[in-house]
Amino acid sequence: MQKNNINNIYYLGPNGSNTYYAAIKFLERENLTSLNKLPQKSIKSAAENFENDINSLCILPIENSIEGIVRETLDNFLTLKDNSIQIQGEITIPINHMLLSNAKNKKDIKKIYSHPQALAQCGNYLYKNFPDAELKEVSSTGYAAQKVSTETDSAAIANITCSDIFNLNIVAENINDEKGNQTRFYILGRNSDNNLNMGKTALMLSTKNQHGALCSVLQIFAKYNINLSCIESRPSKKKLGEYVFFMELDGFKEETNIKKSLTEIKNNAEFVKILGSFKEYKCS
Amino acid sequence: MQKNNINNIYYLGPNGSNTYYAAIKFLERENLTSLNKLPQKSIKSAAENFENDINSLCILPIENSIEGIVRETLDNFLTLKDNSIQIQGEITIPINHMLLSNAKNKKDIKKIYSHPQALAQCGNYLYKNFPDAELKEVSSTGYAAQKVSTETDSAAIANITCSDIFNLNIVAENINDEKGNQTRFYILGRNSDNNLNMGKTALMLSTKNQHGALCSVLQIFAKYNINLSCIESRPSKKKLGEYVFFMELDGFKEETNIKKSLTEIKNNAEFVKILGSFKEYKCS
């Protein structure tokens, strides 16, 4: 992890969002809590401001265990022009939804605000405990908490950090219907981590538009005994049925087999962009 | 295409939605315009009501050239229990966004309603032509048109069918920034089309959770010279990093090579669900 000359970190805000929570956990782990925390309105503006600031890091959500790969993050990888940008690490956090309110008692809560995904993930809990409450969809869990901080008869579904930031009571903890909900984030910086001796490699590639092209690429990984831990297609946005593929491989990019496979694949693909090699890290 | 005893068709409404437009085009093509058209509030309720009504068809969006695969449709395939349900056809329509209003002149338009994706897809047009208008996000293009039909100073971005349904003026045509935007839909029915002599096959499968499992599956298709035209991963929703894969293959399921490959794959996969074989159909 590159730390010298790093002053700023960009992420999807507002403060209190799940990305903010992941950023806090990451900064604590890396002893980087003195960085300026710069929340952004969208994944796109986080990526753009990071690209224009060489003294910065960026943290972006890549995958949620229920919703899947975060497409907006993949699409932004394709538009980054600075080739020194690399994924330098990852962090996985549990998504524990809390019910936060100025009210202390459930009976005083008439409206519940949150992001549509969070409302859906707590659907059974809400149905049982708040059958008559009005459910209000807003653009983020952080915004929901901010909104209810000015009201007395409403609650927000948001993460634990919002309780401190907006001075709200925790009315109920871990109200997700399904336990085990997790989100994984990438940390972007400049240059590679040259001290890796194990890890994963992320890349994007587009195959030549011909019969069996994707299969040829996958056969090359198989030949070198490289396991594909993740694959996702994104539309080329030019023509229906033309794709760019995002993949994660077990192994780091300086390993002999990974290097050999990537050299061969470059001959078989329209383009290959190595996003970086990094270690897995799960946060309890 | 099975037509006997079919009385109803379910789709994502409201009338005026892009799925409604695709449904109209499909019914015209198949001489099925006498079916009862039953718009539904969500993809989920369209799939569920179709499953409970054996005298019906259902049309669901599967892929947009800009946004990619429609995840909600894939997730609903996994929860359908009636094994006689099969994809019986597909239809691809151009997405041409129109600006519709009770007002006749652009200068009278102060607010513009649409689905967030449609607003984004017309971003440059709106920036140039309506720099001061308030952009309002709503849940569908059809709802946007319904909303502006009761107002005099607003416009909706929606498809051409909304002009008739809500009696609105066409203020501007084809205002998408990128041309060539298309959406592809599946038509679901019961039983297979046994008259196919060419086409595509759609399926979902989950691999055993072991090193190189996806690659083994893809190698089987390669061995039988079967082209994979589409692959998408969805989370198993049980554990981060466990996936179910959606695939489309060139060829119909009664072809010898497809049959042989599927038999082999069933030995290598946790489960395989054949969604159906059907012909491509593009609508101008």
Residues in chain B with CB shorter than 8 Å from the CB of A215 are 218-219, 221-222, 228
Which two tokens mark A208?
């030549």
Phi, psi of A141, rounded to the nearest 5 degrees: -70, -35
Top pLDDT among B123 and A1 is at B123
- Closest by CA position to B171, among listed B193, B148, B189: B148
Residues in chain A with CB shorter than 8 Å from the CB of B64 are 235, 240
Taking any CB pair shorter than 8 Å as contact, residues of chain A touching chain B are 63-69, 71, 92, 178, 180, 182, 184, 211-212, 214-216, 218-219, 221-222, 225, 227-235, 237-241, 243
Q: Are A23 and A48 in contact (CB under 8 A)?
A: no
pLDDT in tens, A3-37: 888 999 999 988 898 999 999 999 999 999 999 99
Written as tens digits, the pLDDT of chain B (284 aa) is 778 889 999 999 889 989 999 999 999 999 999 999 999 988 999 999 999 999 999 999 999 888 888 988 998 998 899 989 999 999 999 999 999 999 999 999 999 999 888 998 898 899 899 999 999 888 789 889 999 999 999 999 999 999 999 999 999 999 998 888 899 999 999 976 666 777 899 999 998 766 667 878 888 888 888 888 888 888 887 777 778 899 999 899 889 999 999 999 998 888 999 999 998 887 76
- Closest by CA position to A181, among listed B238, B233, B244: B238
Q: What is the predicted pLDDT for the residue at B223?
A: 85
- Which amino acid, B260? K
> Among A51-60, A194-203, B140-149, B177-186, which stretch is predicted with the lowest mean pLDDT?
A194-203
Cβ separation B222–A211 shorter than 8 A:
no
Q: What is the predicted pLDDT for the residue at A25?
A: 94
Q: What is the predicted pLDDT for the residue at A146?
A: 93
Selected for mutation to probe chain B from A231, A236, A248, A261 (highest B CB count within 10 Å) is A231
Q: What is the mean pLDDT of chain A?
A: 90
Which residues neighbour B120 within 8 Å (Cβ) at sequence distance 6 or greater?
none
Q: What is the predicted pLDDT for the residue at B194?
A: 65
Q: How far is B30 from chain A (nearest CA, A)?
A: 24
Cβ separation A233–B235 shorter than 8 A:
no
The ipTM (two decimal places) reads 0.73
Give the nearest partner residue to B240 out of A182, A214, A219, using CB atoms.
A182
Residues in chain B with CB shorter than 8 Å from the CB of A67 are 235
Cβ separation A180–B239 shorter than 8 A:
yes
- Closest by CA position to A182, among listed A10, A5, A12, A22: A22
Q: What is the predicted pLDDT for the residue at A234?
A: 87
Whole-Å CA distances, A130 to A98, A125, B203? 14, 8, 39
Q: What CATH number matches the domain at B8-94+181-190, 3.40.190.10, 3.40.50.300, 3.40.366.30, 3.30.2230.10? A: 3.40.190.10
Locus of tokens 């809400």? A126
Give the nearest partner residue to B231 out of A64, A66, A233, using CB atoms.
A233
A8-94+181-190 and A98-172 share one CATH topology?
yes
Q: Are B181 and B65 in contact (CB under 8 A)?
A: yes
- Closest by CA position to B58, among listed B10, B4, B6: B10
* pLDDT band per the 50, 70, 90 thresholds, residue A68: confident
Q: How many helices (H) and strands (E) does chain B have?
A: 9, 15
Give the H/E segment covering residue B258. Answer: helix B256-268
Top pLDDT among A17 and A153 is at A153
For chain B, give every domain's residue range. Answer: 8-94+181-190, 98-172, 200-278
Q: How far is A7 from chain B (nearest CA, A)?
A: 32
Residues in chain A with CB shorter than 8 Å from the CB of B63 are 235, 240
3-class secondary structure for A234-257?
Answer: EECCCCCCCEEEEEEEECCCCCHH
Name which CATH class applies to A200-278.
alpha beta
pLDDT in tens, A253-279: 889 999 999 999 998 888 999 999 998
Whole-Å CA distances, B97 to A22, A174, B125, B174, B281? 39, 42, 11, 5, 21
Indicate whether A284 pLDDT > 70: no
**A98-172: CATH number:** 3.40.190.10
Which residues neighbour B281 within 8 Å (Cβ) at sequence distance 6 or greater?
B29, B89, B90, B91, B92
Q: What is the predicted pLDDT for the residue at B210?
A: 63
How far apart are alpha carbons A120 and A117 in whole angstroms? 5
* pTM assigned to the model: 0.81
Cβ separation B240–A214 shorter than 8 A:
no
Cβ separation A219–B219 shorter than 8 A:
yes
Cβ separation B235–A67 shorter than 8 A:
yes
